[in-house]
Structure 1
């Protein structure tokens, strides 16, 4: 065998890369420092990681496009504030680009290094900057821990597949215990995906519409009883593709939650048998999307859901 082996390198799709990275649950932290005038600044981060025990080193990474990059680059220290599951509102606040003063109304104090420490976090680490490294479109900040302190005894806030795991786990429990009614779920689907379909009619690219139709193809191709897992994934892809085509990140997050509900109900609660009679209705959704007919697309979804519930079983 030749020593030289040709290696094929895949073209990495950025959206899929981000989606697959989301399969790894991460904690959520707020990284803080002071600007040149001594005012506290901070941002939400889930790239925090330990590096070394001797010496005690940790890291986080920051996008080069971040408006706070110059501030963190010029600062000699920073703090990592590990959030509890009751601090999800803080996570959203410090992640928002629309809030100028992230610390307004937030309880915090200065630590021994004068870095801002947020009250009631699970733990805090004050660090002096040990090193900085450019890596692609991010800069990696390595800090040497100088002071640390435990905080609240709550559970950690965990981010998983684009949603807080606290929320996902709560929904999963409700689904398994049968506490989410079919009528309520159908109403949520009509409201959420009806809105997304209307947005997609105005915003979706042809490639994004192709992805929706390809998901429909996969649903129809996997119709045997043994093909249920593939059919569930295809249906999840159908709704996820609609969400992406709507180009609204907040609604996409809600859609991910609804997709989790869909998977749990179909896999563990309600038997999902093939329903070829609704094939034309699902195709009608795609047809109206391609025609950029917002009312028609939302109406086709309503017809599809109504037909499903009129049957004796649930199909995906």
Structure 2
């Protein structure tokens, strides 16, 4: 039996989180009320069913959460399942910078007194059945006492660090050829230029090693038959740059751009070998190691320019992916 190529004895927390993201999950807002009746809530994608008889569900909450003390003493909580049109609510209730999460949000108290958010796909109002400590989280199991549905929309789905709704929309735009090449180039320069600047300040040597390993793998898979491996290596090159920047918001944006990259390389554009640009990727790595911001961003800009210049020379209407 073949073992997974990335199987290791130690579990890296960042890699663990990344691989967990391969399992698509729905998005919910878990709510309860403060001692004074103030509505409280947070975004969660750890919601799961447990039992049909009795009807039990669960969610897990970080022990570092500021809301943990209240959930530990509350007798009830509600699960509000979000629809695709409620992605802004997901971001709002996940933000630590917004003090009053319910400001401007339409909601009503349920029979148990927990806040039920209007327009959700479904809601489950639960009495606390059990609480269990589990590592750095606490698991809350609730017995469903009331439930209902407000919307016929599709569910908001979280997958690989991004909303699947967005990923699917981008995929359709790519396959339909509706994403302008100049706009994509501009996005790469802006996004990865910023990430390289942050990487020069924050990247560890191990993270730069990961970028260099991806560069080496790109160079090893230039034959037409190894295109899938070259696509994987190219995606890993940009993903590694994103991780080296240590900015979660920009990393999410980078994951979206990686989805665009994969679709274009796989389905839309010709991807001939380009050994002439090998030195530019290596230059990016060298400049990251030297903490040379100007050199790293200049190498990225030259990489993009070189690829597009060659494309125009060949007379292609598209562009050769990065």
The separation in 2 between residues aligned to 1:43 and 1:294, in whole angstroms, is 38
* Unmatched 5+ stretches in structure 1: 1-7
Q: What is the 5 A alignment of 1:6-155?
A: 10-155=9-154
Alignment pair present for 1:314 and 2:320: yes
Per-residue CA deviations over 1:112-148 (Å, capped at 9, x if unaligned) read 0010000111110000001111111111100000000
Instruction: Show the counterpart of 1:158.
Output: 157
Alignment pair present for 1:171 and 2:170: yes
CA RMSD of aligned residues (A): 1.2
The separation in 2 between residues aligned to 1:177 and 1:154, in whole angstroms, is 25
Q: What is the 5 A alignment of 1:249-288?
A: 249-288=248-287
Per-residue CA deviations over 1:52-96 (Å, capped at 9, x if unaligned) read 111111000001111111100100000000001110010000000
Could you tell me how far 1:314 is from its partner in structure 2? 2.1
Classify 1:285/1:9 alpha carbon distance in 2 versus 1 (closer, same or farther; 3 Å): closer
The separation in 1 between residues aligned to 2:42 and 2:162, in whole angstroms, is 18
Structure 1 contact 274–315 (Cα < 8 Å) conserved: no
The separation in 2 between residues aligned to 1:96 and 1:224, in whole angstroms, is 46
The separation in 2 between residues aligned to 1:11 and 1:225, in whole angstroms, is 35
Could you tell me how far 1:181 is from its partner in structure 2? 1.6
The separation in 1 between residues aligned to 2:9 and 2:70, in whole angstroms, is 36
Alignment pair present for 1:241 and 2:240: yes
Q: TM-score, normalised by structure 2?
A: 0.94
Instruction: Show the counterpart of 1:181.
Output: 180
Look up the SS of the partner of 2:239 in the other structure.
helix
Aligned residues: 309
Classify 1:175/1:9 alpha carbon distance in 2 versus 1 (closer, same or farther; 3 Å): closer
The separation in 2 between residues aligned to 1:13 and 1:303, in whole angstroms, is 34
Could you tell me how far 1:315 is from its partner in structure 2? 5.5
Per-residue CA deviations over 1:151-208 (Å, capped at 9, x if unaligned) read 1111110000000000000000000000012111111100100111111111111111
Would you identify which runs of 4 or more consecutive aligned residues in structure 1 move more than 3 Å?
none
The separation in 2 between residues aligned to 1:19 and 1:188, in whole angstroms, is 24
* Unmatched 5+ stretches in structure 2: 1-6
Structure 2 contact 261–321 (Cα < 8 Å) conserved: no
Structure 1 contact 239–259 (Cα < 8 Å) conserved: yes
Per-residue CA deviations over 1:241-281 (Å, capped at 9, x if unaligned) read 11111111111100000000000000010121110000011
Instruction: Show the counterpart of 2:4.
Output: none
